[in-house]
């Protein structure tokens, strides 16, 4: 297996694990527990889950554009607090958020698992001049998702 194939396999495996973990544990929290901020000035579990939906949406776009546009891809950032606020996740049932997040990530796993090895090497430039590859973005997405899933279930 090539390094690129290993990277993709590990990212998809991590995403599958996190889907299983969150789907198994999230139902143990009441709606009230889901709506309580984890600390003063911090997001609630629902808002973190909403942030993960926003992240899936933004990374979906990146994963596709990095394969279809000429390299280097210019990374477009998003203001996560504004996205969470506009998403009004605190007003949605947790079960709906979980379902949306789960289905979106299943689609992302299909996309990720089909990225050609040469495309994983496409360069991505951030606004601050930092450059990475599409493969790095895939890995970063899975690590970011895992961080927030653990935050939701362990707080």
Q: Where do the domains of the chain lie?
A: 3-154
Whether the CA torsion 6, 12, 16, 17 is positive or negative: it is positive
In 3-133, alpha helices (H): 3-25, 31-35, 45-68, 80-87, 94-113, 117-120
Q: pLDDT (tens digit, 0 to 9) for every residue of the chain, 155 residues total?
A: 667 778 888 999 999 999 999 999 998 999 999 999 999 999 999 999 999 999 999 999 999 999 999 989 999 889 999 999 999 999 999 999 999 999 999 999 999 999 999 999 999 999 998 999 999 999 999 999 999 999 999 86
CATH, domain 3-154, list 1.20.120.450, 3.30.1540.10, 3.10.450.50, 1.10.645.10? 1.20.120.450
User: Would you call 155 helix, strand, or coil by DSSP?
Assistant: coil
- Cα four-point dihedral sign 49, 9, 113, 134: positive
């Amino acid at each position: 297996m090539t390094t690129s194939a290993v990277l993709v396999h590990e990212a998809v495996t991590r995403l599958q694990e996190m889907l299983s973990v969150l789907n198994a544990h999230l139902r143990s929290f009441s709606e009230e527990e889901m709506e309580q901020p984890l600390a003063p000035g911090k997001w609630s579990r629902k808002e973190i889950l909403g942030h993960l939906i926003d992240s899936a949406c933004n990374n979906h776009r990146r994963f596709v554009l990095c394969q279809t546009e000429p390299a280097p891809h210019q990374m477009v950032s998003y203001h996560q607090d504004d996205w969470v606020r506009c998403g009004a996740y605190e007003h949605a049932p947790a079960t709906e958020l979980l379902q949306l997040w789960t289905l979106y990530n299943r689609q992302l796993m299909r996309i990720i698992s089909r990225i050609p090895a040469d495309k994983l090497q496409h360069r991505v430039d951030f606004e601050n001049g930092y450059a990475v590859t599409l493969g790095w973005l895939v890995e970063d997405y899975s690590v970011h998702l895992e961080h927030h899933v653990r935050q939701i279930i362990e707080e």
